[in-house]
């Protein structure tokens, strides 16, 4: 788990088992002034979220230990995360998986690769 500080008070929890993807997300979000906290999988993200507060969750789907859809479902079960925006950022574009994400409580679905501009506008829209 690692984080970075900036002028913006909004905290985004970025969850991905790929280090390069986490870096791309961090570069993008920090350039817009968000504070980014990173987690390598759903277990680490859930643990962090239970002990801290984040304003938005951006998660991959396929990860070891706990996948992103399970993470969203688990977070939605917590009173503090009932209304927190949760975006899924994944290479998965299949309708079945997307529907599972929606049913778990995801706010939106972004298929990789993302463009920094589109990611930032989507986050601004749901925050």
Partner 1 sequence: MDLSKPVPNSSESTDDTVMIRVSSWTPEQQIARLLSLCEAQMESALSESDVAVEALVKSFAGLIEAGQALGSINEKTPEAGASDLAGQLDALKKQTAAAIVAFQFYDKLTQRLGHVRYSLSALAMFVCDSAKTSERDQWKRMFATLRRLYRTEEERQLFKMMVEGASAEEAREHIQQSTLTLRTAPTGEIEIF
Instruction: Please tell me whether residue 4 binds partner 1 under the rule CB under 8 A.
Output: no
Question: How many Cβ atoms sit within 10 Å of the Cβ of residue 24?
Answer: 19
Minimum Å gap between C-beta 73 and partner 1 is 14
Q: How far is CA 79 from CA 53, 68, 82, in A?
A: 12, 19, 5
Minimum Å gap between C-beta 3 and partner 1 is 20
Minimum Å gap between C-beta 44 and partner 1 is 18
Q: How far is CA 21 from CA 16, 27, 84, 104, 125, in A?
A: 7, 10, 22, 23, 22
- Of 62, 78, 80, 127, the residue at the interface with partner 1 (CB under 8 A) is 62
Minimum Å gap between C-beta 39 and partner 1 is 16
Question: What residue spans of 2-127 are helical by DSSP H?
Answer: 19-31, 42-51, 68-76, 95-104, 116-126
- Of 41, 68, 71, 114, the residue at the interface with partner 1 (CB under 8 A) is 114
Summarize as ranges the residues that interact with partner 1 (CB under 8 A). 18, 20-21, 23-24, 27-28, 62, 91-94, 97-98, 102, 106-118, 122, 125-126
């Amino acid at each position: 788990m690692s984080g970075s500080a900036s002028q913006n008070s909004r905290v985004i929890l970025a969850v991905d088992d790929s280090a390069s993807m986490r870096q791309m997300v961090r570069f993008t979000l920090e350039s817009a002034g968000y504070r980014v906290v990173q987690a390598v999988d759903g277990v680490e993200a859930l643990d962090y979220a239970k002990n801290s507060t984040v304003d938005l969750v951006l998660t991959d789907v396929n990860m070891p230990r706990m996948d992103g859809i399970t993470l969203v479902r688990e977070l939605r079960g917590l009173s503090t995360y009932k209304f927190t925006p949760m975006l899924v950022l994944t290479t998965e574009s299949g309708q079945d998986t997307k529907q599972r994400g929606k049913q778990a409580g995801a706010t939106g679905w972004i298929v990789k690769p993302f463009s920094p501009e589109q990611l930032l506008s989507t986050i601004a829209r749901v925050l």
